[in-house]
A = this chain, B = another copy of it.
Amino acid sequence: MNKNDTTKSRILDAAEQLFAERGFAETSLRIITARAKVNLASVNYHFGSKKSLIQDVFDRFLSDYSSGLGAKLAELESESSDELDTEKLLRALVSPLLLLEKKRKHSISIFMRLLGRAYAETQGHLRRYVTNKYGFVLVRFTLLFQKAYPNLSNDQIFWRLHYTLGSLIFTLAGSEALTDIARVDFKRSMQIEEVIEEMIPFLTAGMKA
């Protein structure tokens, strides 16, 4: 049987879509299993609980993304500080995203919406889970920025990195709706790659303000 058409992966596919569209609490297991065309009980059989399903949806994205990012970071870490600049670092951050998008259409926007929702879960289990398991990537990234900008204080870098993440997550999460508006208002149809390209000079300028 095709690995992408097992009961388990069909549940993951349906769940990640619906979670991104409607949120975690607003998405019932019955809606997921109906969309995935599998039996209701199979979620608890394959994943144990709804909580674990949510975590597994994240894991599939994050392990893909952070392995791609890890390679990029390793490259950059071996470079000297005067070779580093914001644009290079930002491209390291987004290029694994574009890889995801190539493998599966709209996955950037789905991924970013999920991230936004996880972030909004200020006190929930999900935020803890994500930060515990993947927080070290953010740390590595912060260190690179510190190396690239020795004149900026550490907390300035901390904050600017968060401004950047805010722009990225917010814009890419809403990219479908926003490109729609741009298309009718400015008669300009954009791909997500183009949206990202537009964003890089903005963020670069801010970073070294």
Contacts and interface: CB of A to CB of B under 8 A. Distances in A.
Given A25-B25, A169-B166, A116 B113 contact: no
Interface residues of A, number: 52
Query: Quick one: copies of this chain in the complex?
Result: 2
Interface stretch (A32-40, A41-49, A152-160): A152-160
A208 to B, nearest CB: 8
Interface string A159-195: 1101111111111011001100110011010000001
Contacts of A120: 23, 113, 116-117, 120, 173
A79 interface: no
Secondary structure call for the A interface: helix
A165 B155 contact: no
Contact of A163 (B124, B171, B181): B171
A199 B113 contact: no
Contacts of A199: 159, 163
